[in-house]
Amino acid sequence: MDAYLLDWANLLLRWAHVITAIAWIGSSFYFVFLDNSLTPPTAPDLKQKGVDGELWAVHGGGFYHPQKYLVAPKTLPEHLHWFYWESYSTWLTGFGLFTVLYLFNAGSFLVDKSVHDWSPGAAIGAALGFLAAFWLVYDAICRAFGQKPNGDRIVAFGVLVFVVFASWLACQLFAGRAAFLLVGAMLATAMSANVFFWIIPGQRTVVAQMKAGQPVDPIHGQRAKQRSVHNTYFTLPVLIAMLSNHYGWLYQGANNWLVLVLLMLAGALIRHSFVARHKALVQDKRVPWEHAVGGTVVLVALALWLAPPPPSAAQQAAAAKPVVFGEVKAVIDQRCAMCHNAQLQQKNVALHTPELVKQHAQQVYQQAAVLKLMPLNNATQITDAERTLIKRWFEAGAPLN
């Protein structure tokens, strides 16, 4: 497909993906808050109708009174809203974006021969295998232990172990940027599969039982609630894994898999703190902020670990000397110009003349020196010293002498 059309597909799919993800995660956050904030009704008419919990809220200039029925209402309402297209649309747009950006360009985006030397076709098959394998293993863990005593803790531990293993394996097989995104995608696939295979089918079974005048089996609601809670814990780890591909310094290190695991762990701890907060407030108990504090400590420790070392005396002496443009041009010719030249202008950037280097100096500085995103997967093996040279040149005003 023409590169220009791919860019348009990338833009529109990314836009749609963000919109639908906001809708899905927003509804997930709201319903988890709602479930944990309900109080038993006091009005006799609500008790008679089978209402198990209620909440009064004010928003948008009006008052709302949501109610939750124990298992199901006595009669099925005429108009019933289903929450599933937010999930399906998010996954479909996300997979479309993954296809356009990573699968169509597997040789550039999935494969880093310094990590694992294999064909683009094999990398594509393995990437799709990650999405399927995680769902199968996660679902098997939930089926085996989800309904047992202390099942939630066993499931949480089992899923954590498998996520750590999958993160490590992805970083041994794929380019760092792709590995981080792929781990987020496998969690997101499990989230949408929970909706498709468990939550919606369970609700449809309940509706069918009510229409047939049969007793409603509460197990369907219990399973749907369990998978829904799992989904809300996955949200922040998925988001940080997706966002991380914009920050090369996160995924380019030797222990990048551990960086990813710690980022996702911090997100899960912070999310748990908010889930526990909702329960604590409605029960007039102490708000357990220690989980959010723990997640924040993990992030601070990670920031300290990844911080660049202070410059040595030799580096400080070198930094004091003015940068000669010829040095910068030599780096760009060797590391950048093979993809940014008169014949091939990736992202409409050409760097084959001094004037063009000056014109795109800010982009080169941002992508190569600050974010460290370019060269992609560091295919040309640019060094930290060369990135620093570009940084010093730009911050000195990007002179051509």
What pLDDT is stored for residue 107 in this prediction? 92
Counting residues of the chain whose pLDDT is more than 70, the rounded percentage is 100
How far apart, in whole angstroms, are the C-alpha atoms of residue 377 and residue 117?
13
In a domain, 20, yes or no: no
Asked whether residue 375 falls in the same domain as residue 291, the answer is no
Instruction: Look at residues 306, 329, 355 and tell me which one is the last residue of a structural domain.
Output: 306
Residue 346 is predicted with a pLDDT of 81
174 and 254 in a single domain? The answer is yes
pLDDT for position 308: 85
Cα angle 330, 331, 335; round to 5: 125
pLDDT, residue 381, reads 85
Q: Please check whether residues 159 and 265 belong to one and the same domain.
A: yes
User: Looking at the structure, do residues 118 and 236 belong to the same domain, yes or no?
Assistant: yes
Q: Taking the complete model, does pTM exceed 0.85, yes or no?
A: yes
Residue 71 in domain: no
**Bridge partner list, 345:** 340
Closest CA to 261 of 343, 166, 345, 190: 166
Percentage with pLDDT > 90 across the chain: 61
Whether residue 147 sits in one domain with residue 245: yes
Question: What span, in angstroms and rounded, lies between the C-alpha atoms of 246 and 277?
Answer: 31
Note the pLDDT of residue 187.
Answer: 98
The whole-number pLDDT of residue 157 equals 96
302 and 317 share one domain: no
Q: Do 235 and 294 sit in the same domain of this protein?
A: yes
Tell me what pLDDT residue 236 has: 97
Confidence of residue 268 (pLDDT cuts 50, 70, 90): very high
| Secondary structure letter of residue 375 according to DSSP | S
Residue 51 domain-assigned (yes or no): no
Mean pLDDT score, 130-159: 94
- Residue where one domain finishes, among candidates 272, 306, 340: 306
Q: Are residues 332 and 190 in the same domain?
A: no
Q: What is the pLDDT of residues 338-351, one digit of tens each?
A: 889 888 878 788 88
Please list, in sequence order, all residues whose beta carbon lies within 8 angstroms of the beta carbon of residue 401, skipping any fewer than 6 positions away: 324, 325
Q: Is residue 283 part of a domain?
A: yes
The separation between CA 304 and the C-alpha centre of its own chain, rounded to angstroms, equals: 22
**Residue 1 scores a pLDDT above 60:** no
Q: Are residues 165 and 302 in the same domain?
A: yes
Assess if residue 180 is contained within a domain.
yes
Q: 219-261: per-residue pLDDT in tens?
A: 998 899 999 999 999 999 999 999 998 888 899 888 999 999 9
Q: Read off the pLDDT of each residue in 37-51 and give the average, rounded to a whole number.
A: 91
The verdict on residue 179 lying in a domain is: yes
Q: What is the mean pLDDT of residues 376-395?
A: 87
Type of residue at 13 = L
Question: What is the tens place of the pLDDT at every residue in 101-144?
Answer: 899 989 989 999 989 999 999 999 999 999 999 999 999 999 99
Return all residues near 315 (Cβ < 8 A) that are at least 6 apart: 388
Residue of 167 and 8 predicted with greater confidence: 167
- Which secondary-structure segment (H or E) carries 58? strand 57-59
Same domain, 160 and 199: yes
Domains contained in the chain, number: 2
SS3 state of residue 381:
coil
| Final residue belonging to a domain, choices 282, 306, 330 | 306
- Asked, for residue 21, whether it belongs to a domain, the answer is no
Structural domain that includes position 327: 313-395
Q: Is residue 137 part of a domain?
A: yes
Task: Give the tokens for residue 174.
Answer: 């794929």
**Whether residues 326 and 301 fall in one domain:** no
> Is pLDDT above 90 for 97?
yes
Question: 216 with 278, same domain?
Answer: yes
Note the pLDDT tens digit of each residue in 293-348. Answer: 999 999 999 999 999 888 788 777 777 788 888 888 999 999 998 889 888 878 78
Give the pLDDT of residue 32. Answer: 92
Q: What per-residue confidence (pLDDT) applies to 167?
A: 98
